[in-house]
Chain A
Amino acid sequence: MQITHLKNTCKNIRENILKLSFKAKTGHIASNLSVVEIVFTVLYQKYHEKDKIEFILSKGHASIAYFSCLLNFKKITNKQLGTIFQNNSKFGGHVTSNISEIIFSTGSLGHGLPYAAGLSYALNLKKSKSKVIVVISDGELNEGTTWETFLIASHHKLKNLCVIIDNNKFQALGRTKNILDMGNLKKKILSFGADVEETDGHDILKIKKFINKKTSSFKVLIAHTIKGAGIEFMEDKLLWHYKSMSQEDLDDATRDLRTL
């Protein structure tokens, strides 16, 4: 499939994120926008390329990006997603596993990776060819379970485990480097025995290449992304972690929407 088409699909997914976020009157918009190409590429491999993939979105607050990607692959319907944030809906501000295709609920940071490691271990024992792909936020690097699980993944040689860090450089109250500086992140994770690469987290082909890369240990992609990516006035702004959109904001954002 043409890369231009894939990029346009991601633009459409962003547009849907804006519409749904506006409808839900919710924040976390910028966190949803930063992870679009990552989630899209993983699900493209799973549903279009028919790769055997177990996917966990550990940064559960990007649920709207995940839902929008599932909608794109026709795994959920517009009607279902139309209930977002309404009473009795299954579609909320974090990922819940009672929705088709979602295997694990997340929202509390630091939960997705240990689960993914257990799944990887079990699939290895069962001689499965499935990959386990977990997307974590750079804020989740603050959590002890992330580093504990890097140790576990390394010790047990979980080479079917692929971790993608949505490295948008922000966490709840500011820039990650000002709150808990990770220093040389690649060097740190390399020291845990992982196969580590850094890439542009909005580059679908590079993400795809990394997912398909065969490694002798677990692998980690530090995907450099832009918080609020695709809408200039939201990009790299902490405000859009919290703020919900007015009608004017939505109109401006839709007009400004660009292909990455």
Chain B
Amino acid sequence: MRDALKSYLENKFDSNSFFITNDLGYNVLDKIAEKNKKNFVNIGICEQSAIGFASGVSDYFKNTFVYSIGNFLTIRALEQIRNDICYHNKNITMISVGAGFSYSKYGYSHYCIEDAGLVGSLPNVDVFTPFDSYTLLKCLEHCEQSKKPNYIRIGNIIENLERKVKYSKNIFGINRMKKNNKTNKCVISIGRVSGFVNRLIENKLCNHYILLSNNNTKSLNTIIKKYKHVCIVDEQVERLSIVNNFHAEPNKITKIAISNNNSYEEIGSNEFLINKYMKLEKQINNFLKL
């Protein structure tokens, strides 16, 4: 996905755009930095000031971007995001890397497992977790036109689903894998964790839908109505996850998110952490038995 971001910026970045990085983006941002010496700023490692600075810059630029690792950008600077971007409804796209457990072997300081929920709870902002290069481009194009705050979370691609997925035309729409009309079960996954989900259910009698937006309850409800058993998978801590929006029909909906009761001290592969802290494989298998 970083290549897609790099390519998008190299093609679309112009004098109406402004890019602020918090000293990150090696081998991704080099070319636009080189080409745009004035409207590209490596502001240093100061996320809170970077958000305030972006708010000021955005008064004079059509598209302003701020870039960092997800938890640094959002959790450290949450009040600045709330006051200086969201309440002011500024046209700023925040782009983060490391969604979910992407930095799996680098420890909890780098896990982005609360950011979507925290930012998504703020007004005026939409949160997107693309699951491949195509959906990332769709997100970037959407943000370019939206004239409001947006937050895009980029993570490692677990499995490239590009040839298997039927993409929605709308960024807020429903992407789906091969559909089987004989099943009364479906899994709805958000963003990059969809690659794991697909591995577990690809050949099973269960449909799979993928959403990009972490605050897209409308599309979720549309799907939920059509099935007897629904499983929702979100790589965010449970208390802040979209799964928490569904309290009705507990026998119908299986919710899989990251357990809150951990200090996430163990590291491991992406798959290891997702199974350790979300019990993904175990819970999906139980769901398939329903």
Contact = CB atoms under 8 A, between A and B. Distances in A.
B57 A111 contact: no
30 contacts: A104-B55, A105-B83, A105-B88, A108-B83, A111-B52, A111-B80, A111-B83, A113-B52, A114-B48, A114-B49, A114-B55, A114-B84, A115-B52, A116-B56, A117-B52, A118-B54, A119-B57, A120-B56, A122-B56, A122-B57, A122-B60, A122-B61, A125-B38, A144-B48, A148-B48, A149-B53, A151-B44, A152-B43, A152-B53, A156-B41
Contacts of A151: 44, 46
Nearest to A96: B87
B38 A118 contact: no
Chain B: interface residue count, which band?
Answer: 20 to 34
A118 B41 CA distance: 11
B23 to A, nearest CB: 12
Given A105-B83, A125-B39, A145 B57 contact: no
B255 to A, nearest CB: 34
Contacts of A53: none
Interface of B: 18, 38-39, 41, 43-44, 46, 48-61, 79-80, 83-84, 87-88
Contacts of A99: none
B51 A114 contact: yes
Chain A: interface residue count, which band?
Answer: 20 to 34
Contact of A145 (B48, B61, B87): B48
A116 B59 CA distance: 11
Contacts of A110: 48
The 10 closest A-B pairs by CB, nearest first: A118-B56, A114-B52, A119-B56, A118-B53, A122-B60, A148-B46, A148-B49, A118-B57, A114-B49, A115-B56
A118 B39 contact: no
Contacts of A144: 46, 48
Contacts of B79: 108, 111
B49 A145 contact: yes
A199 interface: no
Given A122-B61, A123-B60, A152-B46, A105 B52 contact: no
